[in-house]
């Protein structure tokens, strides 16, 4: 193994450990509800935050050094990032990675040269994958950084820019397939608008659907059998993003006949920006058969933007894992779309961030399994709807031949209805606390 990071392989030391460079809860072989933790939690490293981002913000330059000893924007640097990434994943026991095209090579002025670089780097990545057994969770095209995409990619007002979006999606699909990626993501990027005064929403949405349809057709023709994902986000960078939340994205996919090929990649921080909980968007995806993959991070309730923090909130991770277990697991995985805070700029911090995230989800998994095994929540929920199953009127309502007149006649004969059973939210919350802190 190369030696870019002066840090040993991270081991499980248990909850009492005070070693910041050890797992406290993520014990990969521990069996939870019949499956190993590592199978429940296929974790992935996000190339962009971990190997590229240096902590630049609106007010200041980077703080962390991600040169890995090479000159930025060179192929030597791109290769050093591959070395660093694989060493990092091996040391943490992470089995997958996710990437944008421009995370893995410096973008050239001419797309033909960028594509050549992508061929070169993907050969190198492939070698590392064979050597280590590490796999690709998903790939995507960055169609939001280059100035040409200032008005969006698939939704751009410029046909020429739309053509460049096609070229990037085509190449990113080629590379994803070459690396055996399980999925391909469309995050909206700048697919949205700032003002209706200059925007034809219908035309833009139809064009996005057109781009996606062509991508599905091409992807299938080159042997991509995985899922395409939409990753919803309500705002940022655009004021209005078309894929606002899971419900909106699912509606869009159905309207354009794309729902057979696509699932959702739900990011915690995006769900909360949409005014939902993380678990809300997971549930909406799951009940529609579209829970594919997860971008595991968390936002900050005091800030109105996408802070992409490492997940730390065990309540939320528990509710997430409850949804995932109930849905029978993910076809995708848990990508840490998370970055260290700007003042946490050392190599150690990179490792500690991932340890925090992996431990938080491991604890969430353990606690979600305990909640399910405890059974009180499920029993309560079943009882709460029982009048539909154990009363004549309930059975009638659920029957095929129910009519509005017949059901209305039942109500009129009764004259008035009893209050529905108590929701008992406080009792359920106290069950959650007693399971979390037993
Ligand atoms: C940005 C998104 C992005 C996608 C991939 O907010 O989270 O990083 O996951 O393009
Ligand atoms: Ca994301
Ligand atoms: Ca994000």
> Please, which pLDDT band fits residue 267 given cuts at 50, 70 and 90?
very high
Tell me which of 186, 231, 237 to substitute to probe ligand 1's pocket, judged by most ligand atoms within 8 Å of the beta carbon. Answer: 231
Q: Which tokens go with 377?
A: 């929540």
- How far apart are the C-alpha atoms of 437 and 293, rounded to whole Å? 28
Ligand 2 mean position, distance from CA 73 (Å): 24
**pLDDT exceeds cutoff 70 at 2:** no
Tell me which of 169, 183, 188, 295 to substitute to probe ligand 1's pocket, judged by most ligand atoms within 8 Å of the beta carbon. Answer: 295
Tell me which of 267, 281, 308, 336 to substitute to probe ligand 1's pocket, judged by most ligand atoms within 8 Å of the beta carbon. Answer: 267
Ligand 3 mean position, distance from CA 283 (Å): 19
- How far apart are the C-alpha atoms of 76 and 118, rounded to whole Å? 13
pLDDT of residue 158: 98
55 Rama sector, left if φ>0, alpha if ψ -120 to 50, beta otherwise:
left
Mean pLDDT estimate for the chain: 98
Q: Boundaries of CATH 3.20.20.150 in the chain?
A: 11-374
Which of 103, 281, 308, 359 is an active site residue? Answer: 103
100 is annotated as an active-site residue: yes
Q: Which tokens go with 38?
A: 């590592």
Ligand 3 mean position, distance from CA 360 (Å): 18
Q: Which tokens go with 93?
A: 């026991």
pLDDT of residue 249: 99
Residue closest by Cα to atom 4 of ligand 1: 187
Q: What is the mean pLDDT of residues 61-84?
A: 98
pLDDT of residue 255: 98
Residue closest by Cα to atom 3 of ligand 1: 187
Nearest to 169 by CA among 122, 199, 212: 212
Neighbouring residues of 74: CB distance < 8 A, sequence distance ≥ 6? 106
40 is annotated as an active-site residue: no
Q: Which tokens go with 129?
A: 């994958």
Ligand 3 mean position, distance from CA 399 (Å): 44
Q: What is the mean pLDDT of residues 387-401?
A: 98
- How far apart are the C-alpha atoms of 210 and 207, rounded to whole Å? 5
Ligand 3 mean position, distance from CA 309 (Å): 9
Residue closest by Cα to atom 8 of ligand 1: 337
Residue closest by Cα to atom 10 of ligand 1: 187
pLDDT of residue 438: 87
Which ligand 1 atom is nearest residue 267's CA? 7
105-132 pLDDT per residue, tens: 999 999 999 999 999 999 999 999 999 9
Q: Which tokens go with 338?
A: 């998370």
pLDDT of residue 1: 61
Ligand 1 mean position, distance from CA 107 (Å): 18
Strand pairing of 262-267 and 31-32?
unpaired
Residues in contact with ligand 1 (CB, 6 Å cut-off): 100, 140, 185, 187, 231, 233, 267, 295, 306, 337
- How far apart are the C-alpha atoms of 95 and 393, rounded to whole Å? 52
Residue closest by Cα to atom 5 of ligand 1: 187
**11-374: CATH topology:** TIM Barrel (3.20.20)
313-355 pLDDT per residue, tens: 999 999 999 999 999 999 999 999 999 999 999 999 999 999 9
180-234 pLDDT per residue, tens: 999 999 999 999 999 999 999 999 999 999 999 999 999 999 999 999 999 999 9
Looking at the CA of 308, name the nearest ligand: 3
Looking at the CA of 235, name the nearest ligand: 1
Which ligand 1 atom is nearest residue 236's CA? 6
Three-state SS annotation for the chain: CCCCCCCCCCEECCCCCCCCCEECCCCCCCEECCEEHHHHCCEEEEHHHHHHCCCCECCECCCCCCCCCCCCCCHHHHHHHHHHHHHHHHHHCCCEEEEEHHHHCCCCCCHHHHHHHHHHHHHHHHHHHHHHCCEEEEEECCCCCCHHHCCCCCCCCCHHHHHHHHHHHHHHHHHHHHCCCCEEEEECCCCEECCHHHCCHHHHHHHHHHHHHHHHHHHHHCCCCCEEEEECCCCCCCCEECCCCHHHHHHHHHHCCCCCCEEEEEEHHHHHHCCCCHHHHHHHHHHCCCEEEEECCECCCCCCCCCCECCCCHHHHHHHHHHHHHCCCCCCCEEECCCCCCCCCCHHHHHHHHHHHHHHHHHHHHHHHHHHHHCHHHHHHHHHCCHHHHCHHHHHHHCCCCCHHHHHHHHHHHCCCCCCCCCCHHHHHHHHHHHHCC
């Amino acid at each position: 193994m190369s030696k870019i990071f002066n840090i040993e392989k991270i081991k499980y030391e248990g909850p009492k450990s005070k070693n910041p460079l050890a797992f406290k809860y993520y014990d990969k072989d521990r069996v939870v509800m019949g499956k190993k933790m590592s199978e429940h939690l296929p974790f992935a490293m996000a190339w962009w935050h971990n190997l590229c981002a240096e902590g630049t913000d609106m007010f200041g330059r980077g703080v962390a050094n991600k040169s890995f000893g090479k000159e930025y924007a060179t192929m030597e640097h791109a290769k050093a990032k591959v070395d660093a990434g694989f060493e990092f994943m091996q040391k943490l026991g992470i089995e997958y990675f996710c990437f944008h095209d421009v995370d893995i090579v410096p973008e050239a002025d001419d797309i033909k040269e960028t594509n050549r670089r992508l061929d070169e780097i993907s050969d190198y990545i492939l070698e590392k994958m064979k050597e280590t057994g590490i796999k690709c969770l998903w790939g995507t095209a960055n169609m939001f950084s280059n100035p040409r995409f200032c008005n969006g990619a698939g939704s751009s007002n410029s046909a020429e820019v739309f053509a460049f979006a096609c070229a990037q999606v085509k190449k990113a699909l080629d590379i994803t397939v070459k690396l055996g990626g399980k999925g391909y993501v469309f995050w909206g990027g700048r697919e949205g608008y700032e003002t209706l005064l200059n925007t034809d929403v219908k035309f833009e949405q139809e064009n996005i659907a057109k781009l996606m349809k062509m991508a599905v057709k091409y992807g299938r023709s080159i042997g991509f059998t995985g899922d395409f994902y939409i990753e919803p986000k309500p705002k940022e960078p655009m004021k209005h993003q078309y894929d606002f939340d899971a419900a909106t994205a699912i509606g869009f996919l159905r309207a354009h006949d794309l729902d057979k090929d696509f699932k959702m990649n739900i990011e915690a921080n995006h769900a909360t920006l949409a005014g939902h909980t993380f678990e809300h968007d997971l549930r909406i995806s799951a009940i529609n058969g579209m829970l594919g993959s997860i971008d595991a991070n968390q936002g900050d309730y005091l800030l109105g933007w996408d802070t992409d923090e490492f997940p730390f909130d065990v309540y939320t991770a528990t509710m997430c894992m409850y949804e995932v277990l109930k849905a029978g697991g993910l076809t995708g995985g848990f990508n840490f779309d998370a970055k260290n805070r700007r003042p946490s700029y050392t190599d150690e911090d990179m490792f500690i961030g991932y340890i925090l995230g992996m431990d938080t989800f491991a604890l969430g998994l353990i606690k979600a399994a305990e909640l399910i095994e405890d059974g009180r929540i499920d029993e309560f929920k079943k009882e709460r709807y029982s009048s539909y199953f154990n009363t004549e009127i309930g059975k009638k309502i659920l029957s095929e031949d129910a009519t509005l007149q017949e059901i209305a006649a039942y109500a009129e004969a009764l004259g008035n209805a009893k209050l529905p059973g108590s929701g008992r939210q406080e009792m359920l919350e106290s069950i959650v606390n007693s399971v979390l802190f037993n």
